[in-house]
Structure 1
């Protein structure tokens, strides 16, 4: 559980202090604007790195999950490199945390969706409370090794899922890892992309398939475990 703690605590505290409320759906025009925001921030990040030799990111723990590890620090950019923080950024009351990926090679600006992230945090709290009282996890049917569906009946909650940032009409299920960590299952979107781009012949056994989503989108897969190509399908593995 410690690997999720850093960003999770930060987001909860900021939401409590800011009193922000997030819509269930992003409007289509806001999705289009998001791409423009990313390009503006990318330019600012590139300028900052060129001048200072470092990246404008906040500190994080070594155990922070890959796609949550390098949040953009707008305090370092605003003014000289960026006239204003993007309207959809969490710092402006929006629904996105701006992060960097591929920091060691070619740093790229992406976004992490806070709506699905917060959904997962809420469900994680319910799972933690159940485990504390019952001594077991509210695990349902097994999905793949190490992962189960969540038995919402045991939690006295209606079944829920997360809206996909990759296909707004798609809902993604939650999974429960044997460690007790709640995660969003991105397998349907990964499979959709592999089929659409006909990527199966190019896949390698050790490839983290989440990178395919990141390459094709402005968003990173929030609250996710790694995925490998197993049994002719993308399967989550135990390392986030």
Structure 2
């Protein structure tokens, strides 16, 4: 059965000092809260209805990753009275989640970006930057597709391949890179699990990342497009 939640990248962390979040790291700020998500979802829908189709989002560059492109602007919502307070688990309040809107023109789903994955990506990026200062190429590992590679963790001085903790399954997901050295998370494990556990109509050529969005409170941040082939999640090849 497909569960639809009324839930909800992302801020690049501005601090390299070890202070990951702007306020306290209370445990209640570190977990998704269904009630908070539902309140924000309703508030965003009301905002669009009463503001002539506009949605309360922060301004981002046009080439921003699709799941990070429409971050909710809580300041607007507070000033106009659509919310009485900012969710306690949001980044703005010291939590580990960024609230984002998926498809603001159609479904207007509110979802969460897990900023703990952002910190893990950032830590690898710091090592990559050091490597680039000494070499003219990124620390490529094994080839995955024509555009994607694993990270050569030994070149970065790491003891093992870098991973992030999945907000969907809590599994350790690999960090991969493209030809330009940009880092991504490989969500193959989560997507294959979602394909198996949920009814869907996705076919080869469709972007199946939305299967995760439809069935959880999160979005797959730092992801590449995936499709389905022979029942399995595969990276969508660039044409």
- Whether TM-score is above 0.5 comes out as yes
- State the number of aligned residues: 225
With the length of structure 1 as denominator, give the TM-score of the two structures. Answer: 0.84
Partner of 1:207: 206
With the length of structure 2 as denominator, give the TM-score of the two structures. Answer: 0.84
Deviations 1:107-146 (A, max 9, x none): 1111101010121122123223313321122111222332
Contact 1:148 1:175 in 2 (8 A): yes
1:149 aligns with 2:150: yes
Out of 148, 164, 185, the position equivalent to 1:162 is 164
Tell which has more relative contact order, 1 or 2 (C-alpha 8 A, sep 6+). 2
Contact 1:174 1:185 in 2 (8 A): yes
> In the TM superposition, what is the alpha-carbon distance from 1:19 to its structure 2 partner?
4.0
Check 1:119–1:183 CA distance in 2 against 1; reply closer, same or farther (3 A cut).
Answer: same
Secondary structure at the residue paired with 1:119? Answer: helix
Matching of residues 83-162 of structure 1 within 5 Å: 83-159=84-160, 160-162=162-164
> In the TM superposition, what is the alpha-carbon distance from 1:209 to its structure 2 partner?
1.1
Matching of residues 186-225 of structure 1 within 5 Å: 186-197=187-198, 199=200, 202-225=201-224
RMSD between superposed Cα atoms in Å: 2.7
Gaps of 5+ in 2: 1-8
Secondary structure at the residue paired with 1:104? Answer: coil
Separation in structure 2 between the aligned mates of residue 28 and residue 198 of structure 1, nearest angstrom: 33
Deviations 1:185-227 (A, max 9, x none): 001100011012254xx33222111100000011001111111
Partner of 2:62: 62
Separation in structure 2 between the aligned mates of residue 28 and residue 92 of structure 1, nearest angstrom: 11
Check 1:142–1:27 CA distance in 2 against 1; reply closer, same or farther (3 A cut).
Answer: farther
More helix by share: 1
Larger CA deviation: 50-59 vs 222-231: 222-231
Contact 1:149 1:175 in 2 (8 A): yes
Check 1:17–1:29 CA distance in 2 against 1; reply closer, same or farther (3 A cut).
Answer: closer
Larger CA deviation: 172-181 vs 184-193: 172-181
Separation in structure 2 between the aligned mates of residue 182 and residue 37 of structure 1, nearest angstrom: 31
Partner of 2:37: 38
Secondary structure at the residue paired with 2:107? Answer: coil
